[in-house]
Amino acid sequence: MKKNRLYSMRVLDDFTNCESNVRLDGKVALVTGATSGTGLEIAKNLARRGAKVIIASRNPAKLETARNQIIQSSGNENVDAKPIDFESLKSIRNFAYDIRMFEPKLNILINNIGAIGLDDRLTGDNLHTMMQVNYFGAFLLTFLLFRLMKASAPSRIVNVSSLALILGKIEIDHMNDVGRYSNFSIYCNAKLADVLFTVEMDRRVRGSGVSVYSMDPGLGKSQFFRNYGSSFWKNTLNCLLLIFGRPLHRVAIMSVFLAIDLRVERASGKHFRDCHEFYSSWFANDTILTAKLWEESKRLVGITPKEDWERF
């Protein structure tokens, strides 16, 4: 019996299909939410491969600490740390402008920022906080960086979603309603939106040299529930993650796999788990819904004519 349990544990963490010795010398990679957890491990992995790595998060002190950890871990000093606050569309625009102005290319974008337990309120941009942090922020950042990524092709975008998406739904007219959904439900909705955005973007940019993927990272040993208001649930859920979650450096391999591996170069628009194509949601096949979500997202984040590369 003990032998069988050990075998099952190995199967659950068998990422042999994810392993790759691809080097990234001369490439530029951007990872959001990279001051701790899986994002930090993703950045370390990319840096070890020789890429210039840009990490982005909202806490300058944590950014500098993470930058030093990445350099120490990888031996690669070509690591930049830049602040960005996903609760502010202005901050995202300023960040994207800075990248476009000072980076001649961008080959990899990993949209890793995500959070649960945030307040049920609107941000200063009149978007629901949970939706803005988990979806609209990544949508805007990706849209603003697309032209640079196209000019840097071949390039790849990886949108980190969650298995929670299977419980999500998209009500176009109610995505930002306060008091309509539970905290967990709006997280599910946002993670479903990440997948539908991936599918629709692939349709719109196909042939550009930019590939886009979504993925479910599974559970990692992290403090993911740190924003929960209830100390009981925060401590209990984080404790369970530390017991049953996967080591974060293993979880990180999956995002890196989609960002670099030749085996998925023709799988743009697809959803992955454990480095294999994985079912996401029947909503992903609803082309009317994905198109509506795309256009409404552009409207809500205020894409200007100058920013809108679809007009040209």
Instruction: Select which of 7, 97, 135, 187 is catalytic.
Output: 187
User: Would the CA dihedral through 301, 304, 310, 311 be positive or negative?
Assistant: positive
Structural contact between residues 146 and 205, judged by C-beta atoms closer than 8 angstroms: yes
Taking a C-beta distance cutoff of 8 angstroms, is the pair 234, 207 a contact?
Answer: no
**187 labelled catalytic:** yes
Residues annotated as catalytic (active site), given as ranges: 187
